[in-house]
Structure 1
């Protein structure tokens, strides 16, 4: 056997726990949003928040789904890498939407994204991009 044949694929052992933590954080944020009493109404009110993040049914569903997908993706390396790219694309889009929504406040906006949400989503998109690039390079 040649040395190339005896080498196994490099493992990205740190990625799955990181994806699980991201999934748990988003799941906790989504569930906490559902437990906020004012979540039943849809509209743009700054008083409805979990910590500093706005609370609406749409955002709660998105955060909960992202959390559950993160926990499911953490079971396999390929799923974790795909999840990182999904985080990047999804949250980059949400950040773009959120910047416009926060800049031009519409009282009937069902998503009700504030600037704290924009920072969270933007940092999540950047982290997804960085993790996806590093993990994909190490997996080759």
Structure 2
């Protein structure tokens, strides 16, 4: 597993805190993780471009004529937090099996987040779990 440390300048940290303030909501954690990942890629290539939520991935990056698709999962934890790491959707699952990278962004609310680059099957396996939607009963 590769570890990429991210050094966030104060101005970017404040921008992220305004757009995605610290909360336990998974959508905010996820959106902040995507923004941190974009920041990382822009630090390598300021001219790179992004498309979000494309078919089988969370983020598609185009840099120097190369296209890369990745799945991104964020956490406020300081480690992978394996028990909370879930893949939703058959398309993402299939793409990960085919070699797409999984970026686990840790410490999303801290000034020094990191990206753990996970590769299937070297770094993780995927076990199916049933999921059920819960709906309110009509009165």
Return the TM-score normalized by structure 2.
0.26
Which has a greater percent of strand? 2
Which has a greater percent of helix? 1
Structure ranking higher on relative contact order (CA contacts 8 Å, 6+ apart): 1
Larger Rg: 1
